[in-house]
Structure 1
C-alpha cells in the first residue's frame, strides 16, 4: 500500500462557523453512503483459522493525545477475539492508561513492559497478564516506562528493543496491538520498528489534521532506516459527530487526501466509552449491542480483510 507525503498546507482545513441548520444535519440521508462519504463496501466474514501465529503487529500511533488510541486498542483487540483471533495488547505508554482501562492496577505490578525491554532476565511471557476477555492478553505498563527512554539511549540497537522483546511470543498470537504514547520519541520509534503496520486513530477535528504530515514523515523515515516492511494499515476516524458540519468536512478532507487508506469504519462520539473505562472492560463486553461495539467489530473485520488482501 503506497504512502503519501501530504504537506501541512494540503491537510489544513479552514474552520468556519456552522449555522444551527448545519449542526442539525446528519448522514442519515446518504442512503448507501457511509460516514466517509464513500459507498459502503462489503467486508467479507473473516476466515476461520486452523492455528495461531505468527502475529501481525500493529502500532496504534498518533502524537496527538486524546484521539482514541487506547480506547481503540482495547476494543479492537476484544473485537478481534470474537472472530477467533488470539490477541496480545501492549501498553507502551508510561501513563499506563491501557492497563487501567482493563482494570489492572498497573502501579502495583512488579513486572511490566519496562522490565521486559530493560532487564535481560525478564521475558515478555513473564510479564503478560490474562485479561477478562478470553484470548486477549495484556503486556502492562506503568510510570517506570518513562525511564526507559533515557536508559535506552546508550544501548546498541536501541530502536529494536521492543522488537527483540516481542519476538519470543510472536508465534503465540494472531495480532499484537501496541498502544503508543502521544509523542514521536524513542518509545514510539521502537513501536514502529517492531510493527508490520500502523493504525492511525484520527479525531474528526481540525487541529488533529495538522500533525498527520509529521506522523507520516516519521513512518517514512522508520521504513527507510529501520523497518522496510512497515506499512500504514489504515486511518481510523474517531470522535465523529454526524450532526456537525465540521466533523463531516474533516472526514471529507481526510478521505480526499488518503482515499482507500481511510477505513470505512468511523467511531462516533458516545458516553459509552468513558463508562467502559470505569467498568474496566471493552465496550464489546460492557455494552455488546451498542453502536460503539458494532463499530469496533466492523473495524476488526476491515483489519482482517486488509491483512488477507495484502498477503495475496
Structure 2
C-alpha cells in the first residue's frame, strides 16, 4: 500500500501550517499509523518543533532535492519520522531553476519510501514558489490551512490558482479540505469568514467541521521540542487536534 501524501499549504505565514503538520501528524501516529513529516520550509520550524536542532542535521530535504537517497536523512523523533529542513532551502528556487523537471524533484525523491508509510505530511513554506509547487506535484491530497480572518479569503483564492496549475503535472491530486485555525466561535468575524469560505464553489463541503481554537499552549509546545500531546494533553489544542485527526481519518 502506498502512502497518502498530504501537502499543507498557505502562502501566508503564521496561519498554523507547521503546528498542524506537527500535531495532526502525531495524533495520526498515536492512532496506529506510520507517519513521515517533511519540512519544506527554510525556517525549519517543524524540524525544531519536533525536537531536532536544524543546525545539527546532516543531510536534509535539500539533499533529497539534489538527488540523494531519502533513506539517509530520515530521523526517528518518537511518534513520527522526520525529513528535516535546513537553511539551504532558502536557495531552492535559484538552485534548481535550470533543472529539467524541477517541479517533480520531491515526488521522485519520495518514491522509494511510499510503501513504508501510511501518511507523508508535507509542511509547505509560506509562499507559492518552487517548493510549494513540488509539494502539490508530489501530493495525493492537498489541505489549505487558514486562520479565520478577512484576508484569508483572498489568500485562498491565490493558492487555489497555483493548485489548479499544478494539476497539469499531477492530474490525480485533490483538494481534500480546508483546516481553520486560531478560531474563536464567539467572534462574529470568525464565524462569517468560515461561512464565506464554505460558500465559495471550490470549497463547498471542504471545510473541516473541527476548528482549531486559539490556544497559547500550541505556541509554547514547539519551544520545548514537543507536540501539544506531550506538552499538555489536556489543553484545548490537544483536544482539537485529536478531534481533527478523527475527522481526517474517516
**TM tier, smaller:** over 0.9
* Greater shift in the superposed pair: 275-284 or 253-262: 253-262
What's the secondary structure of 1:242's corresponding residue? coil
1:290 corresponds to which of 222, 235, 239: 235
**TM-score, normalised to structure 1's length?**
0.77
What's the secondary structure of 1:269's corresponding residue? coil
Structure of larger gyration radius: 1
Alignment of 1:237 onto 2:183: no
| Structure 2 CA distance for aligned equivalents of residues 241 and 280 of structure 1 | 26
Shift of 1:291: 2.0
| Unaligned ranges ≥5, structure 1 | 1-52, 306-312
What's the secondary structure of 1:109's corresponding residue? coil
Alignment of 1:194 onto 2:138: yes
Counterpart for residue 270 of structure 1: 215
Counterpart for residue 227 of structure 1: 170
| Structure 2 CA distance for aligned equivalents of residues 271 and 75 of structure 1 | 14
Counterpart for residue 175 of structure 1: 119
Shift of 1:174: 0.2
| Unaligned ranges ≥5, structure 2 | none
CA contact (8 A) 1:233 1:303 kept: no
Counterpart for residue 132 of structure 1: 78
Counterpart for residue 71 of structure 1: 19
| Structure 1 CA distance for aligned equivalents of residues 111 and 242 of structure 2 | 28
Runs of 4+ in 1 over 2 A off after TM superposition: 255-259
| Structure 2 CA distance for aligned equivalents of residues 273 and 296 of structure 1 | 10
Counterpart for residue 256 of structure 1: 199
Counterpart for residue 115 of structure 1: 63
| Structure 2 CA distance for aligned equivalents of residues 123 and 198 of structure 1 | 25
**C-alpha deviations, 1:45-82, integer Å up to 9, x for none?**
xxxxxxxx421000001001110000000001001012
Give the superposed CA RMSD: 1.1
Shift of 1:260: 1.1
CA contact (8 A) 1:131 1:138 kept: yes
CA contact (8 A) 1:239 1:268 kept: yes
Shift of 1:259: 2.7
Shift of 1:207: 1.1
Shift of 1:289: 2.3
CA contact (8 A) 2:92 2:130 kept: no
